[in-house]
Every structure is written in C-alpha cells, then in structure tokens.
Amino acid sequence: MLIAEHNEKKMMQILRPILFLILFVFTGAGFVSAAGVTEKDTTNSHSEGFEAGKHVIAHVSDAFEWHIATFGETHISIPLPIILYSSNKGWNFFMSSKFHHGHEAYNGFRIEHVGENEGKIVEINQNGEVVGLPIDLSITKTVAGIFVSVIVLFFIFLNIAKSAPKSVNKAPAGLQNLFEPIILFIRDEVAKPAIGEKKFEKFMPFLLTAFFFILINNLLGLIPIFPFGTNVTGNIAVTMVLALFTFFITSISGNKHYWKEIYNPDVPWWLKYPVPLMPIVELSGVITKPFVLMVRLFANMMAGHMIVTVFVSLIFIFNDLMGVEAGLGVSFVSVAFSVFIVLLDILVSFIQAYVFTLLSALYFGMATSEHH
Amino acid sequence: MGFVTPDYGTIFWMLIIFGIVLWIMKKFAWAPILKALKDREKSISEALNSADKARKEVAGLKASNDQIIAEARREKEIILKEAREIKDKIIAEAKIQANAETQKGIEYARQQILAEKTAAINDIKEQVAELSVMIAEKVIRKQLDNPKEQELLVKDLLNDLKLK
C-alpha cells in the first residue's frame, strides 16, 4: 500500500514538469491549430473571403457556446446553459445547442446577428419579428471560463492550505514551494508597505484572491485549448466586478480622515465655497480609481488576445489577396510574432495581476491611513 | 463595440462567483496558509533567538570557567607558597633544635670530661699522696746511709711509679 503510494508520488513528480511543458508548448502551438481551423472556415464555408475584423472580434467576445473547432461545415462546440426571463414567457432554461450555433430560433428566442442587438438573445413572435429583450442570465463562455479558473484556483490553494500547517517547521515543497514566495511577495512587498504594518492583515484575503484570480485567468486565457483559452480578464464585466470589489472595500473601510479629505479637503476656502470644486474633484477621484483599474486590466488582456488573433488573421488576408504562397510566406512571420506576443502576454499577465493588486492595496491604504 | 459594454449577465454571475470564491479562499485557503507562514516565521525567529541565547550562555560559561581556572591557579600558588614557607620554617626549626641538641651534647660531654678530669686529678692526687706516703714510709723504713743506695732506691721507686 505504502509502496504503491510512493510510486504514485514519484510518478507525479516525473509527470508534473512534463505536464507543465506540454502546457507551455500548447500556448504556442495552439495558434497553429487555431490557424488550421480558420483556414478550413475560409476556404469552405465563407468563400466570399476572410473577414478579419469579424473574426478577431468574435475571438475576443463572449459567446453562448464554447467553440472548440470547425471542420468543414461541422462546428464542434460545447453547449452552455441559456437562462432567460421574459415577462411573457417567464423563466426559460435550455442548452445553447438548441440554437444550432445561432442559425435557428428556439422557443421564441433567437440570437440576433445584425443591428443594435447584435450578439444578444431577442424574443420574437410567430412572424419572426423582435418583440423585446429577455433578461439574459445565461452561463456564457466567459462565465464557464470563470468556473474553470476557479476550479484551478481551488485545486492549487486548497492543496497548499492542506499541506501548509504540516510544514511549519520544515521547508515547503511542491506546489506550496512554488506559490509561497508569491504569497509572501504580496504580503511583504505589496500589502505591508501600501496599507501599513497594523492594518494589512484585514485586506490580505481579498488582495491574494484578486491577484491569483487575475493571474490564473490571464495565464489560462493564453492556452488556446479547451477548457482554457477564454478571454475572462479581457471581458469588461469581469474586470468591472473586480474593480467594484476594490471600490466597495475601500469605501467600507474608509475612516473619518479619508471621507473628510474627500468632502472637506484641506484647501483654501474659495475652492470649496460657493462652488465645491475640490470635493467634486475628490469625489470623481473615488470613482475614477476603480474605473481605471477596470479599464487597465480589460484593455491589456483584450489587446494581447486581439494582437495574436490579428497576426494569425494576416496569414489568411494574404492568402486571399495574393494566393497560397503569400499566405505561406506570411505565416512564418505571423507565427513568430504571435509567439513573441504570447510570451509578452505571459509577462503582461503577471504585471497586470501585480498592478491591480498593488493599486487596490494603495487605495485600501489611503482609506485607512491616520491623520498625520 | 459590443465588447466594451459590460454584460449584466456576466456581471451577475461574476459577482456571485467571485463573492463565493473570496469567502471560500479566505476561510479555507488564506487563513491556514497565512497562519502557517506566520507560525513558521515565528518559529524561525524563536529558534534564532534561542540560538543567540545559547551562544551567549556558552560565552558566559567560558568566561566563568576561565575565572574558576584562574582562581584555582592562584590558590594553588598560595598553597605552594605556604608549603614552601612551612618547609623552610620546619627546616630552620630543625636546624635550631639540632644545634641546641648538639650544644647540649657537647656541654654534657664537656661536663663529663671535666668531672672525669676532676675525678682523675683527685685520684692522682690521692695516689700521689699515697705514693708520697709510701715513699716516705719506705724511705723512712730503709734509712739508707749511703747516698748511692738512696739514689738507687729513688730510682727504683720512680720506676715502680712509672710501671704503674
């Protein structure tokens, strides 16, 4: 029993780096496979030509199904649950496969492809006319991607939490050894200097959760194979919620001094009366700070995904314009640049997670600092 | 530009998911991990402190050891000095005593000699007196006329005296 357990452990030790390597190889190689899929798309189904803009936007946008690959006319995708509420029909639950990749209507609902509601589910009547927008709480690709990353997050940190109390009097090993320096970095280099020695502990759970949630989503977003590769942190709704958490925690933990500096800052009186100029500026700062957090993370991750997709699209643009040889020639350059951008994105993933955490910590520090 | 407008469905799910994740991570991951990190730091600093203390103790022990050794050495020297003094004293006393004994012996011998001498002198005196008496007696008894005979007799007598 013991020997078997030992062997298993040993095997995991050998397997782990290999798995890691595979993960990283796929980060680069995945784009080649993505390229292959799109090629078939252009040559077979969309013979009118490759629409790069649409392709790029579709790649970074949310979707009602999790598209994996397309072979000829066959789309391989994971259907996701659609949850709708409309005043006429009440709650509706069904799988996105009922839409047949958006080609068909189901139960009086349809995915709109044109117009102002493009990409949204609309309610239609018997004649196919749009009668309204249902409340859409579907588990979209982004939400499914969040679930995947949360599973990874739980797997890593609940494991560490299990082994951590046992290794108090010895050196950490394995996963714990990998993540402990990062946790210590967040604690000692981010939280402590930004918030202060006395109060930082209260904010540690949020800072660590936000950091690792963003980092893991950033990195998983770079792996273009199922079940990874969803553009979670490049979705503005996700970054908005993260920024909202920072905003609410800052506001709730803001002390008297913090609010006084906003509503009645130490400036000459004529900046406050009769027009409350400085309070307005300060108050707008309160809103701008989380807004900037939201936009920065979103724009960085979105841009990374877009650039890679654009580089890959270049191959097919040249293919359409000047023939297969040109496409082949450009593909070398495109792949090289894509690999470079992906490597850059790995760096950006860490930097953005760090910046979000650092700025959140700084805002918490501002909210809790004593008058000096 | 659909992708820059936040989708309320995603916001809804993200709020729920992130809220739950935050709670679970806080309770089941960060609490034990941060506690373990703190405990380890504490145990390391405690170990360092106790090592420092032990080092200081050892240094103190060494210092006191040196002190003890120095004291012992001093004591040894004192003892040796005392012993030497005692030895010298004993030797000196013995010498004085021996001298006195010798003097006493010499004195005693002298007195003995003196006593013997006195006794011998007395004895000689007695004998001389006796001899004188005897000579006188003999001289008187013989009453020799001839001086030659007289002289012979004295000689004879003196010879007798010498023989004695």
Tell me the whole-structure pTM to 2 decimals: 0.72
Q: Which of A209, A213, A237 is the closest to B10 by Cβ? A: A237
The mean of the pLDDT values for chain A is 83
Q: What is the mean pLDDT of residues B85-113?
A: 92
A334 near A316, Cβ under 8 Å?
no
Alpha-carbon distance of A334 to B124, in angstroms, equals: 161
Q: Is the ipTM of this complex over 0.85?
A: no
Nearest-Cα distance to chain B for A264, in Å, is: 33
Q: Reply yes or no on whether the pLDDT at B66 is more than 60.
A: yes
CA nearest neighbour of B27 among A352, A206, A262, A58: A206
> Can you list the alpha helix ranges (DSSP code H) found in chain A?
2-40, 52-60, 141-163, 174-185, 192-195, 200-221, 236-253, 256-263, 277-322, 324-368
Is the model more confident about A294 or about B133? A294
Tell me the per-residue pLDDT of A278-306, one tens digit each, with 9 for 90 and over.
889 989 999 999 999 999 999 999 999 89
The strand pairing partners of A90, in sequence order, are A86
Per-residue pLDDT at A319: 87
Phi, psi dihedral angles at A109 (to 5 degrees): -125, 150
B10 vs A238: CB contact, 8 Å cut-off? yes
Per-residue pLDDT at A28: 40
Tell me the per-residue pLDDT of A32-75, one tens digit each, with 9 for 90 and over.
334 333 333 433 444 456 778 888 888 888 888 888 887 877 88
Q: Residue B119: pLDDT band by 50, 70, 90 thresholds?
A: confident
Per-residue pLDDT at B133: 80
Q: Residue A204: pLDDT band by 50, 70, 90 thresholds?
A: very high
User: Which two structure tokens, joined as six digits, stand for A199?
Assistant: 């109060």
Q: Reply yes or no on whether the pLDDT at A116 is more than 80.
A: no
The strand pairing partners of A74, in sequence order, are A71
Alpha-carbon distance of A23 to A21, in angstroms, equals: 5
Q: What is the mean pLDDT of residues B144-157?
A: 75
Per-residue pLDDT at A24: 43
Tell me the per-residue pLDDT of A119-151, one tens digit each, with 9 for 90 and over.
888 888 888 788 888 888 989 889 999 999 999
Alpha-carbon distance of A234 to A146, in angstroms, equals: 12
Q: Reply yes or no on whether the pLDDT at A12 is more than 70.
A: no
Which residues of A fall within a CB distance of 8 Å from B5?
Answer: 236
Per-residue pLDDT at A120: 83
Which residues of B fall within a CB distance of 8 Å from A205?
Answer: 22, 25-26, 30-31
Which residues of A fall within a CB distance of 8 Å from B45?
Answer: none
CA nearest neighbour of A67 among A141, A143, A121, A146: A141
DSSP codes, A321-372 = HH-HHHHHHHHHHHHHHHHHHHHHHHHHHHHHHHHHHHHHHHHHHHHHPPP-
B18 vs A245: CB contact, 8 Å cut-off? yes
Quick one: closest CA in A to B29, which residue?
A161
Residue A98 CB-half CA count within 13 A: 16
User: Which two structure tokens, joined as six digits, stand for A17?
Assistant: 């780096």
Per-residue pLDDT at A155: 94
Quick one: closest CA in A to B8, which residue?
A237
Nearest-Cα distance to chain B for A191, in Å, is: 13
Tell me the per-residue pLDDT of A350-361, one tens digit each, with 9 for 90 and over.
999 999 999 999
